[in-house]
Structures are given as C-alpha cells and as structure tokens.
Amino acid sequence: MSPVVKRKGERTGIPVKYLLFLLTILCCVLMMITFGTSVFNKPLNTVIGYVVVPFQKGIHCAGQWMSDKADELVAIRDLLDENAKLKEMVAQLTEENVILQQNRYELNQLRELVELDQQYDSYEKIGARIIARDAGNWYASFLIDKGSEEGIKEDMNVLAGGGLVGRVSQVGPNWSRVTSIISDNSNVSGMTISTNDNLIVSGSLKSMNDGVILFGQLVDSQNKVEEGDKVVTSNISDKYLPNILIGYISKINLDNNNLTKSGYLVPAVDFEHINEVLVITQQKQAVEEP
C-alpha cells in the first residue's frame, strides 16, 4: 500500500471548537467537585501550609519590623525635640541664675557701701564704679567713672568694703585714678585704736600675696599693742582724714634698735574684689583750714 500523503493545509486531530467544549465541561466538573466535596481540601491545605503560610509569616515579620522602626524613629524624633527644649530651658535657667547671683552680689556690695556711708556719716561722699585697673591680681591702682565734672579732686580719700582703699591721684573730666594703700609706693600715717600709738603703714604687693601689708616705726614702750588691734588713719596724716579704718595687726616684731616695732597688717578691704567705691568729697587740707 502506498502511504497516505497529507495535503497542505489539511487539519488533523480534534477540531478546536470541540476541544474548547470539552475543557469547559471539565472546568465545570472540577468546580462542582471543589465546591461540593472535600477532595482537594487536603492537598490544597498542604500546599498552603508549605508555601503560603511561611510567605505570610515573612511578610508579617517584615511589616512588624518596619512598624517598630517607624515607632522608634518617631520616639527618637520626640526625644530630640524634648532634649532641645530641655537644653533651651537649662540655658535660660542658667542665665537667670547668673543674673540673680550678680544682682545679689551687687546688692551685697551696695549694702556694704550703705553701711560704710553710715559708719563715716560725718564725711560727704559720692559713689563711683571701677571701670579699669592695672595688670595683676590686686587693685593697687585703678580708674573710677567719676571725675572733675562730679567735683572729684586729687588726694580725696576713697573707701570700700570695711575701710580705707586709698586716695585719688589723678583726675580727668569723667574719670579718676585711685592709688590704693597696698601699692608699693604708698605710705599712710596710722595709729592704734587701743593705745593711740602712731605708726606708718606701707604698701607691699609682694606681701599682699600672703594677704598682708607692712607697718613700722611703732613706738610701744609699754608693750600694750597686741595682735588683732585696729589701726586707723591718724590726725597727723597730711593726705588722709582721721579715724578711717586701715586694718588689723597680724604680727609684731621688735626692731634691731630695740626702740620701735614693725610687722604685718591685714587690710580691712578685700583688694582682690572691688567693684564700687565711695569717694569722700572733702580733702584733708580743706578740713584743717580754719
């Protein structure tokens, strides 16, 4: 027999319309089986258990991690905002505390000046603020904000704290220079309150490192002057008004001549911390004039 030869374009097998019809019937049958029976439930559940559930767990974990990170970012942002506000509050409170401390310090300074003013109420005085000083730890020489326009003159006595600071040594229109009693070239005629014995108080910046200045030429033949005695300006001083407190005797030594004594004196004024002073507007020469 000769082989059958297929012609070009000739179709073989099941026609397409019949194949489509069969597939439709198969789908319907499978749908009925799926909804009407539990034949595919177990295999389907197995597939879901091995594939879908782990995938869902992974998605859940990833979502939870992202949610936690988002919450952490929000919390960090809130903490940063709160920290910034707290820093601002701390800075404000620190500034207010500094102002309060400064006000309290100035109040104490003014209270001391008022007490000093009352202590020497027989003298007319004017208040002044220190605006500059020479280099060093001590107020050996400094400028105040009052001058000739306010009636300041040379050799006027200057007070602060507990007593004598020094005298006006130079005067400008709106400023004056004060040379204090601790300056190396300063000499003040003083006397002891207890015995009225005269002595000379000499400034010494070197000894001020130990908190004292020098005194000498004390004639104490009866040995009545003791450590702790007050020393004030004497009546024989040519530039300083009398009875202004200079300081307290801290140590007494007998000189080599066995006639006079010398030693150390603690100033009544804290020469390391001065901000305001009182200038006595009377001069010694003018007071002594008849």
* Count of beta carbons in the 10 Å neighbourhood of residue 197: 21
Higher pLDDT, 77 or 99: 77
237 close to 164: Cβ distance less than 8 angstroms: no
Burial zone of 17 (CB within 10 Å; 0-12 exposed, 13-18 middle, 19+ buried): exposed
Helix-then-strand count for the chain, H and E: 5, 12
Which region, left, alpha or beta, applies to residue 35 given φ > 0 means left and ψ of -120 to 50 means alpha? alpha
- With cut-offs at 50, 70 and 90, classify the pLDDT of residue 179: very high
Task: Read off the tokens for 195.
Answer: 């015995």
**pTM summary value:** 0.63
143 close to 174: Cβ distance less than 8 angstroms: no
- With cut-offs at 50, 70 and 90, classify the pLDDT of residue 245: very high
Residue 204 has pLDDT above 70, yes or no: yes
Identity of residue 195: T
Residue 58 has pLDDT above 70, yes or no: no
> What values do phi and psi take at 168, rounded to 5?
-75, 125
* C-alpha span between 2 and 249 (Å, rounded): 153
Specify which of 1-10, 49-58, 181-190 reaches the highest per-range mean pLDDT.
181-190
**pLDDT digits 0-9 by tens, 85-124:** 888 888 887 777 766 666 565 556 566 666 767 778 888 8
Could you give the 3-state DSSP secondary structure of residue 146? coil
* C-alpha span between 104 and 249 (Å, rounded): 31
pLDDT exceeding 90 applies to what percent of the chain?
A: 48
